[in-house]
Amino acid sequence: MATIHRRTDTLPVGIVLASVGGFLDAYTFVRYGVFANLQSGNMVLFCVQATDRHWHAAVLSVIPIGAFIAGVLAVDILGVPHVGRLVRRPLRLVLTIQIVLLTAIASLPDGTPEPVTTVTVSLVAALQFATFTTLRNAPYATLMASGNLRTSIGAAHEWVVSKKPEDARRAGRYAVVVGAFAVGAVIGAICTRFVGTPAVAVAAGLLAAVLAMLISETRQLERGEANV
């Protein structure tokens, strides 16, 4: 798969992104009973509703899957070399699109049809999932806890066996990311219950912080290269 993010993520960036992932899943589940992030939950919901012949609910469960596919394809297209030459800062573009979409959702009235929100949030989640894939020197996912938890446990076991400090550090990094996802989900659930639709603006603010961190990192690297 083509990539638009050629640097690995630092731990602070990974923490904020994981909290966004947890927040968005809690937001859509509390409001609509569907998941915004990885789509296995929506696939299960679709199958369960379809077997019960609840066709309307089944369709509502499958719509976010289509939005997720569209988001992943969009990032893949932006990573194609000749497209990349036309878009100078594709990573910043993707983050800006995510922020704008979430801000727009936050401003919608409470009576807005459910698919408008679920499709948009799933699209935002897909853009994040396809863009941010590496933490330090190893793969990770900011939209789920399972894979990161497995990596953390595996690294912890390797540390117990080998006593290598790097294994302990790797286990700690992934454990922190898993914790950030859980904290984001808790905050998302609380904010959504008390604030409703505008609560998703919190996720937009967190993504704005990620954009600021990445811009700062790029400028530091560019200054360092200029001084060489």
What is the longest distance spanned by two Cα atoms in the chain?
66
Tokens for 144?
Answer: 């789920």
What is the predicted pLDDT for the residue at 207? 97
What is the predicted pLDDT for the residue at 224? 65
What is the predicted pLDDT for the residue at 104? 96
Say which amino acid occupies 5: H
19 Cβ contact partners less than 8 Å away, ≥ 6 residues apart:
180, 181, 183, 184, 187, 206
Where would I find the beta strands (DSSP E) of the chain? Answer: 134-135, 138-139
Instruction: Measure the CA dihedral 154/2/67/138, to 10°.
Output: 10
What is the predicted pLDDT for the residue at 150? 93
CA distance linking residue 120 with residue 114, whole number of Å: 10
pTM of the model: 0.88
Sign for the pseudo-dihedral over CA of 76, 78, 79, 82: positive
What is the predicted pLDDT for the residue at 203? 97
Q: By three-state DSSP, how is residue 86 classified?
A: coil
pLDDT tens sequence for the chain (228 residues) = 557 777 889 999 999 999 999 999 999 899 888 777 777 777 888 888 888 888 887 887 788 888 888 999 998 888 887 776 787 788 999 999 999 999 999 999 888 888 899 889 999 999 999 999 999 878 899 988 888 999 999 999 999 998 888 889 999 999 999 999 999 999 999 999 999 999 999 999 999 999 999 999 888 877 766 555
Do residues 24 and 125 lie in contact, with contact meaning Cβ atoms separated by under 8 Å?
yes
What tens digit of pLDDT does each residue of 49-97 get?
Answer: 888 888 887 887 788 888 888 999 998 888 887 776 787 788 999 999 9
Tokens for 110?
Answer: 């409470």
CA distances from 21 to 41, 119, 133, 148, 185 (A): 14, 15, 13, 13, 8
CA distance linking residue 141 with residue 228, whole number of Å: 34
What is the predicted pLDDT for the residue at 107? 94
8 Cβ contact partners less than 8 Å away, ≥ 6 residues apart:
134, 135, 136, 137
Q: How far is CA 163 from the centre of its chain?
A: 33
What tens digit of pLDDT does each residue of 104-117 get?
Answer: 999 998 888 888 99
